Structure 1
Amino acid sequence: MKPGKNKKKVLNIVYILLAVMVVVFFARDVFMYTINGVEELLYPIQSKIYFLGKKAKESTENVINYKELLSENTKLKNTLVEKSLLEEENIKLLEENKRLRNLLQMKDSFTFKFKVGKLSFQQTRELYESFAINLGSVDGINKNMPVLFNEALIGKVEKVFKDYSIVQMITFQDSVVSATAGDNVLGIIKGNRSEELIFEPVSIYEAQLEVGSKVYTSGISDIYPKGLYIGEISEVRKKYENSVEYILKLPFNVMDMNEIIVLTEVDR
């Protein structure tokens, strides 16, 4: 090959390379300009997508935080409830302990043999009629045994089953108990299906009772021994001309009854 032709060929290649470089240079600017233009066109969409994504992320984080707070709140509530129940249980145990201590003190001063039981059931509609106790024939309980709450008479055993018994209360409307009030004023206590009892003296002319006069069983009975406390006169109520009736209130609230005393042996 001739030297002149080779030189021309080399120059042609150089020109082509220079042309390519110029095209690439300007093409890059055009490409970048195009990209920038596209980005400007897509910016609102990108911004919207970014905003929605960020909001979704925040919402997700809020939901997670809410669930964590809810879970923590639930745990705190459960802890408070458990603490409250524990405190309430402790109060009940302390109250029961106090009642049992009082019963032990009574045992030393009581002249009757007795057994301690618990009130196991009482219907609201029979609040002043009867209730069940957790002592029965297996515990040596028999019909007509007197029943006390604290040191006050509340009734007698009416029905006896193996593991429990039914107590008829002195507040029952058909209940009648021989009693003495004040300075040995003899009379009877009648039930009234309420916390009130009615004391009727045998002789209204001999009776001179006042509010505060204490009433006890008289002992004129095959069921109740003498000296069981019933209550005290809370009201002197006029019935008709030259006649009054004496009202007693139970010395306790029947809703507070829990441990009861059954007199198993009494000296008459």
Structure 2
Amino acid sequence: MRIGKNKKKVFNIIYILIGIIVVIFFAKDVFMYSISEINNVLYPLQSKIYFFGKKAKESTETVLNYKDLVSENTKLKKEILEKSLVEEKNEKLLDENIRLRKLLSMKGEFKYSFKVGKISFQQTRELFESFAINLGSRDKIKKNMPILYGDELIGRVDHVEKDYSTVEMITFQDSIVSARSSGDVLGIIKGNRSDELIFEPVSFHEAHLNIGDKIYTSGISDIYPKGVYIGDVTEIRKKYEDRVEYIVKIPFDITNMNEVIVLTEVDI
């Protein structure tokens, strides 16, 4: 009787185990299905969280990269600026060297004694009137000494101080210089507050100038020696009746002047 009971008990245990296994088997499918359904429900939210998380990461990386780029760009700009300044300085030194060599080579061409001065000051509103040079009385500079830019006339010393002098330019509206054309027409050069001078012949009836004629100082002066180049006739303007006006263009750019020649001993 006890053996039958024990046998029945064993079978009951086996049945329970089989039932548990069956429940677990089916429960697993139900659980997996539930998880799948939950995932389907949560997917949009998970997707958004993932998307915003990724964007946040990319934004952070972008900001960090931008800062690096800005820093690198600033560094490159600084290097480029420094390089440009060095190149500009070297170019200016080279230009100055060329100009000074040219001035030194002119010593053999000139029959006059001269000094080289640097333009130390020039006002924009007085661009065609006057400028200052770094030579004065201590350099034995005197009033009315002729001033040349290269081998072309630009003016005369107007005022002298110990360390500097001021120059009145031939382009100044009150400036008058005795001149002669390459065709031997005598006249005067008048300033016009521009890079254009006006040549007025002494006798308009005998005068006949052409475009391209060169104009020089005549030597009929207490200031300027004979034969200093002034410029070329570039235009002939009709004034009234049979009168014309001869325009003489100065042969250089006033805004680029750096060094000038002061004729210190002139045999008029």
- Given that 2:182 and 2:216 are in contact with CA atoms closer than 8 Å, whether structure 1 keeps it comes out as no
Matches within 5 A, 1:1-268: 58-268=58-268
Code of the aligned partner of 2:138: V
Code of the aligned partner of 1:89: K
Q: Distance in 2 between matches of 1:50 and 1:137?
A: 85
Instruction: For residue 205 of structure 1, report the CA deviation from its aligned partner.
Output: 1.8
Code of the aligned partner of 2:111: T
Q: TM-score, normalised by structure 1?
A: 0.78
Instruction: For residue 113 of structure 1, report the CA deviation from its aligned partner.
Output: 0.8
Q: Distance in 1 between matches of 2:224 and 2:263?
A: 10
Instruction: For residue 89 of structure 1, report the CA deviation from its aligned partner.
Output: 2.1
Instruction: For residue 49 of structure 1, report the CA deviation from its aligned partner.
Output: 8.2
Instruction: For residue 53 of structure 1, report the CA deviation from its aligned partner.
Output: 6.8
Q: Distance in 2 between matches of 1:165 and 1:141?
A: 8
Q: Distance in 1 between matches of 2:99 and 2:142?
A: 25
Instruction: For residue 99 of structure 1, report the CA deviation from its aligned partner.
Output: 1.2
Structure 1 residues not aligned, in runs of 5+: 1-32
Match of residue 12 from structure 1:
none
Q: Distance in 2 between matches of 1:58 and 1:239?
A: 77
Report the 3-state secondary structure (helix = DSSP H, G, I; strand = E; otherwise coil) of the residue aligned with 2:239.
Answer: strand
Instruction: For residue 242 of structure 1, report the CA deviation from its aligned partner.
Output: 2.4
- Given that 1:182 and 1:209 are in contact with CA atoms closer than 8 Å, whether structure 2 keeps it comes out as no
- Taking a change above 3 Å as real, the CA distance of residues 152 and 47 of structure 1, as seen in their structure-2 partners, is same
Q: RMSD of the alignment, in Å?
A: 3.1
User: How many pairs does the alignment contain?
Assistant: 245
Structure 2 residues not aligned, in runs of 5+: 1-30
Q: Distance in 1 between matches of 2:155 and 2:127?
A: 13
- Given that 1:148 and 1:262 are in contact with CA atoms closer than 8 Å, whether structure 2 keeps it comes out as yes
Instruction: For residue 57 of structure 1, report the CA deviation from its aligned partner.
Output: 5.1
- Residue-by-residue CA offset, 1:113-154 (whole Å, 9 max, x unaligned): 111111122111111111111212222211111111111100
Q: Distance in 2 between matches of 1:186 and 1:159?
A: 29
Q: Aligned residues: percent identity? A: 69
Code of the aligned partner of 1:73: N
